[in-house]
């Protein structure tokens, strides 16, 4: 082996473990931050409220994490509904943020306008929006919906805590499970006749 080839091979041996450790660290770190869309809404809501929200938790499970869970549970005997749900979900994240004690809650209507603006800029639209005396609930879907890659983002605010949930997946396994249930075929046939 030539000295330059040996040196290159040695560098490869030294750098590979460092790259693997770096990738592992990045993977672990990504489990503790929201996905890009939910993070964009959170950032805009925090900025527009002018209040320092306290993060209670932020967890994210992407396709790699959920793929590993699916692979690990492939040998375990699961309820068919649970297996279908597990196969359907490809990514999920949740973030919980709390207002500091004594801070008056921000205007819910202004929060909804801010969230709408942030999501519209990212190609999403609000399909549900509810505001009452204390609560705010908003549900967003991308403007371009794919049946095989469905995405959703939900915002809930109760006057003290804001919860952001995002999920993506393929609903086909769940639909197949639901349609295979006894008696459902009779009901769907009735709907088709109408």
Q: pLDDT tens for residues 93-113?
A: 999 999 988 888 888 899 999
Q: pTM, whole model, 2 decimals?
A: 0.74
Partners of residue 128 on adjacent β-strands: 139
d(CA 31, CA 58): 8
Distance CA 151, CA 153 (A): 7
The residue ranges of the chain whose pLDDT is under 50 are 188-194
Distance CA 114, CA 88 (A): 31
Classify 155 as helix, strand or coil: strand
The dihedral over CA atoms of 104, 133, 35, 82, expressed in degrees to the nearest 10, equals 140
Q: How far apart are alpha carbons 95 and 97 in whole angstroms?
A: 7
Which residues are registered as beta bridge partners of 124? 142
Q: List the alpha helices (DSSP H) in 1-35.
A: 3-30
pLDDT tens track for 135-163: 999 999 999 888 788 999 999 999 899 99
């Amino acid at each position: 082996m030539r000295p330059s080839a040996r040196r290159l091979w040695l560098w490869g041996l030294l750098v590979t473990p460092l790259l693997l450790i770096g990738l592992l660290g990045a993977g672990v770190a990504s489990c503790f931050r929201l996905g890009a869309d939910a993070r964009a809404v959170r950032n805009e809501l925090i900025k527009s409220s002018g209040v320092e929200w306290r993060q209670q938790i932020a967890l994210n499970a992407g396709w790699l994490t959920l793929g590993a869970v699916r692979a690990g549970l492939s040998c375990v005997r699961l309820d068919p509904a649970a297996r279908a749900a597990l196969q359907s979900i490809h990514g999920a994240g949740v973030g919980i943020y709390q207002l500091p004690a004594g801070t008056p809650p921000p205007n819910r209507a202004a929060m909804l306008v801010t969230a709408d603006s942030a999501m519209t800029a990212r190609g999403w639209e609000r399909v549900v929006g509810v505001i009452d005396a204390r609560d705010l609930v908003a549900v967003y879907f991308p403007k371009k919906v794919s049946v095989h890659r469905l995405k959703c983002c939900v915002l809930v605010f109760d006057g003290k805590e804001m919860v952001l949930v995002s999920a993506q997946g393929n609903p086909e396994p769940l639909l197949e499970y639901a349609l295979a249930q006894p008696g459902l075929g009779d009901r769907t046939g009735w709907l088709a006749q109408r």
